Amino acid sequence: MESCKILVFGGTGYIGRHIVKASVLYGHPTYVYTRPNSSKTDILQDFQAMGVILIKGELNEHEKLVSVLQEVDAVIAGLAYPQVLEQFKIIEAIKATGNIKRFLPLDFGCDEDRVSVLQPFQKFLNKKKEIRRAVEAAGIPYTFVSANLCAVLNYEEDIGRYTIKVAIDPRTCNRVVIYRPKANIISQFQLISLWEKKTGRTFKRVHLSEQQIIALSESLPDPENIPVAILQSVFVKGDTANFDLGENDIEASTLYPDLQYTTIDQLLEIFLHNPPKPISAAFARHSFEPGTERPFGLFHCAAGGDEREAVGKVEDHARAVHSGSRRCMVGPGGGAGESPNGKEESERE
């Protein structure tokens, strides 16, 4: 694999950290643009130990962005959803430099140009579509990534490795790449049944009709209505897996057959023996204490951030069974694993 200087925004975040580690693993000079006051000191220290070059700055520092971009070849955005539109600042800096060979904007969920969803989720996706159109209009070489969610289970480490590969692959330039291994497409009930077999437990199932879910998406306040609309899109309509891939579609596991992706059974073994720390998806920012902002998300998850990581805590409003993250994990008592202290946490930078 040819060496490429790669800059990651949001590198300490949920998906970003796996992208950074994969970049280092493949031998690329790796840069991370991080906030000067970042609280992710442990992660940043680990990055430094791996040889990652840390650049401290804010997204509104245009001149600094330009100077950093002049030193790299490819740019990957792993920012949190509340920062989606801040990518316009990155786009303006890329336009000013003119040397970036590939830009991967924040995607990593469903293909927003391909789905038709309930309005709360659509508003969520429209911001990402704005960024896609701006990238295309600017003539910036790009790759749009659809790493899917819930009904298509992709391990974070695999997403990181696939993302680095597509970022420098000439075959993926100005294309959408879908991460959808055939063997990792699964329904919610199939997944719950597999987890019951793994754990030897039986979970209570409380069923909601599609009409109830739609009603919730219309009655809940923003941003609590977003994850409910996501559930309707993924688990009722099957938007991530209800279409055939055409000749012009690129699927990552087919494009890189030598990269052995993690199977659903292997994912469940990880959850069983070494479960990740539960965190929450970020859909908006909310101040919890003076001088401190933390992302607000209705849904807890065993692996949070972005729409693909939302865990359905719908039963708070309609006694529904919790639906899992893009791994759709069901924990003790039928619900997704909450954080031990019951508080929402964010792993996004």
Active site residues: 128
Rg for the chain (alpha carbons), in Å?
19
Nearest to 75 by CA among 110, 43, 31, 38: 31
* Residue partners of 276: CB distance under 8 A and separation at least 6: 270, 302, 303
d(CA 239, CA 38): 36
SS in 3 state form for 39-99?
Answer: CCHHHHHHHHHHCCEEEECCCCCHHHHHHHHCCCCEEEECCCHHHHHHHHHHHHHHHHHCC
d(CA 194, CA 265): 8
In the chain, alpha helices (H): 16-25, 41-50, 62-69, 87-97, 119-138, 156-168, 188-199, 210-219, 225-231, 252-255, 264-273, 315-318
